[in-house]
Amino acid sequence: MTPPLYIALRFLRHRKRALLLSLSGVVFGVGFFVCTQAQTEGFARHFINSTIGSNGALVVRSRFRPHYESLVVPSRSASSDTALRAFFEGITNASEIMRVSRQFSNVVACSPVLRGTVSARAGFQNATADLFGIDPPLHARTTDILRQLIAGSYDDFRNNTSSLIVGSRLAEDLGVHTGDTMQLLSPSGEYWRFTIAAIARAGVGSIDSTRVYSHARIAQNLLQRPFGASMIIYKLRDPDRAPALATQFERLFQHVANSWQEREQANLQLFMTLRISAAITVSLIILLAGFGIFNVLTMSVLGKVKEIAILRSMGYRRIDISAIFLWQGALVAAVGSVLGCLLGALLTWGVGHIPIRIRGLLYADHFLVTWNWRHYFWATLLAIIAVFIASYVPARRAAELPPVVTLRGSSV
């Protein structure tokens, strides 16, 4: 007997225009799905890389001491051990914590940071700044600050304790450049004068508009803190494992440890919502293409009633008749997915070169895209499922046609 695949190809040739229209729906649906996912994940990935590169994948901060449960009555809203802790500001044994934490295989580097809020002044402009007192060599190994510099030199900052590195947005607001003078207000009410050694752009608006880096000892004197570090930031080999490592650090060091996933939970949920919304919207195109394929195959069944009856009388089983129409759907899905993936790659490449000026949550001069094989996999899987569902009902109907009655001229 002739294979069902060959017969399916012959049937497809009789309805070329309708099938091409349905095929185009699958192609554009898959292509747009890939492109939109590449865009949304591209912006999310840029934000994640930027915030990890500036604030670390994991942060150890305030020391805590657990209360005795028998002496403390937790509130009804308490859902974790945090309600049974007494917190203490600052880290007094930062060197020891870093020495021990470096022994963990996932830790690449770590850097102590003394953080505080100060008032910055340059000329007649004033702004609130987030001061980071750092150890320049350790901070350069732990973060991406060397790649973030857009003006000035990191060596000038490292060799001059009375110098600063200023965020790009903050420098624009204050109207300063490298070599200019900036004043920071201490808690005692005195202004300390600094030279701007470099300007950094992290790519995240909340960092670039407030961040100022100084030497740790200078920051300690300026902020009048009794401790030399308020947190320790970590660079990890696998940032996705940061939550598990944070739990280990809390138990080991008795200090609060936060992963980047916990720190950026609100923004991550926002990006995830945008990705899901885009996926649902574009999936409607594939769904409409499925309806088109359903109509085409249904009309094909109605138009091939006698041919189906003849095939049944020749010995073709019900499953063979179903296979003929399922093969038609499979061919449309296969060709549409391949062409759609190619279109998606082309659209992703083209969109990635479109100039755009973003100066809000993120900093970008063009659309941010990412290349991920999972986008193509899910787009193809979605197309296959939609086309299979659209092909199943006509295929089943074709298999149930009674051959004897049909050959006698009865209508379906």
pLDDT tens digits, residue range 1-14?
Answer: 457 666 666 666 66
Q: How far apart are CA 180 and CA 168, in angstroms?
A: 14
Q: What is the mean pLDDT of residues 385-395?
A: 79
| Average pLDDT of the segment spanning 68-91 | 58
196 with 289, same domain?
no
Q: How far apart are CA 127 and CA 211, in angstroms?
A: 11
Q: Where does the pLDDT of residue 274 fall: very low under 50, low under 70, confident under 90, or very high at 90 and above?
A: confident
Q: Does residue 31 lie in a domain region?
A: yes
Mean pLDDT over residues 381-396, rounded?
80
Give yes or no for residue 78 having a pLDDT over 80.
Answer: no
Instruction: Answer whether residue 256 is part of any domain.
Output: no
Work out the pLDDT band at 386, boundaries 50, 70, 90.
Answer: confident
Q: What is the structure's pLDDT at 10?
A: 65
β-sheet bridge partners, residue 194: 182
Query: How far is the C-alpha of 26 from the C-alpha of 11, rounded, in Å?
Result: 20
pLDDT recorded at residue 125: 87
What local confidence, expressed as pLDDT, does residue 313 receive?
A: 61
Query: Do 272 and 202 fall within a single domain?
Result: no
Beta carbons within 10 angstroms of residue 42's beta carbon: 20
| pLDDT beyond 70 at 299 | no
The more confident residue out of 21 and 14 is 21
Torsion from C-alpha of 216, 219, 225, 231, nearest 10 degrees: -50
Q: Does residue 292 sit in the same domain as residue 383?
A: yes
Q: Is the pLDDT of residue 64 over 60?
A: yes
Tokens of 344: 């998606």
- If asked whether residues 273 and 402 sit together in one domain, one would say yes
Which pLDDT does position 331 carry in this prediction?
A: 81
Task: Report the amino acid identity of residue 365.
Answer: D
Final residue of a structural domain among 226, 258, 284:
226
274 plus 396 within the same structural domain: yes
Sequence-ordered list of residues with C-beta below 8 angstroms from that of 339, at least 6 positions apart, any chain: 23, 27, 30, 31
Q: What is the mean pLDDT of residues 172-193?
A: 90
The CA–CA distances, whole Å, from 345 to 39, 117, 226, 276, 364 equal: 12, 46, 56, 20, 21
Q: Is residue 322 part of a domain?
A: yes
- Whether 129 is covered by a domain: the verdict is yes
Residue 325 has pLDDT above 80, yes or no: no
pLDDT at 1: 46
pLDDT in tens, 118-131: 999 998 889 999 99
Query: pLDDT grade, residue 259 (50/70/90)?
Result: very high
Provide the pLDDT for residue 72: 47
**Whole-number Å distance between alpha carbons of 246 and 253:** 10
Domain that holds residue 367: 4-52+267-407
User: pLDDT at residue 303 above 60?
Assistant: no
Which of the listed residues 177, 208, 226 is the one where a domain comes to its end?
A: 226
- The stretch 181-196 carries a mean pLDDT of 90
Three-state DSSP string of the chain? CCCHHHHHHHHHHHHHHHHHHHHHHHHHHHHHHHHHHHHHHHHHHHHHHHHHHHHCCEEEEEEEEECCCCCCCCCCCCCCHHHHEEEECCECCHHHHHHHHCCCCCEEEEEEEEEEEEEEEECCEEEEEEEEEECHHHHHHHCCHHHHEEEECHHHHHHCCCEEEEEHHHHHHHCCCCCCEEEEECCCCCEEEEEEEEEECCCEHHHHCCEEEEEHHHHHHHHCCCCCECEEEEEECCHHHHHHHHHHHHHHHCEEEEEHHHHCHHHHHHHHHHHHHHHHHHHHHHHHHHHHHHHHHHHHHHHCHHHHHHHHHCCCCHHHHHHHHHHHHHHHHHHHHHHHHHHHHHHHHHHCCCEEEEECCEEEEECCCCCCHHHHHHHHHHHHHHHHHHHHHHHHHHHCCCHHHHHCCCCC
At 398, the pLDDT band (50, 70, 90 cuts) reads low
Give strand pairing partners of 113: 134, 231
Residues 275 and 221 in one domain: no
- Residue 162, domain CATH: 2.40.40
Does 87 fall in a domain? no
Same domain, 273 and 403: yes
| Report for 23-27, 74-78, 87-91: range of highest mean pLDDT | 23-27
Q: Is residue 377 part of a domain?
A: yes
Same-domain check for residues 271 and 331: yes
Which residue did the predictor score with more confidence, 293 or 113?
113
- Is the pLDDT assigned to residue 149 strictly greater than 90? yes
For residue 231, tell me if it sits in a domain.
no
Instruction: Please give the share of the chain, as a percent, with pLDDT higher than 70.
Output: 80
Kindly state whether residues 275 and 215 are assigned to the same domain: no
Q: Which residue has the tokens 């000038």?
A: 156
Q: Indicate if 220 and 286 belong to the same structural domain.
A: no
- Give 68's pLDDT tier (boundaries 50, 70, 90): low
Say what the pLDDT of residue 204 is: 85
Domain count, the chain: 2
Which pLDDT band holds residue 50 (cuts at 50, 70, 90)?
confident
Examine residue 107 and state whether it is found in any structural domain, yes or no: no
Q: Which of 383, 380, 388 has the alpha carbon at shortest distance from 322?
A: 388
User: What's this model's pTM, rounded to 2 decimal places?
Assistant: 0.75
% of the chain residues with pLDDT over 90: 36
Domain check: are 272 and 403 in the same one? yes
What mean pLDDT value characterizes the chain? 82
Residues 333/390, Cβ–Cβ less than 8 Å = no
324 and 394 both lie in a single domain: yes
60 backbone φψ class: left, alpha, beta (φ>0; ψ -120 to 50):
beta
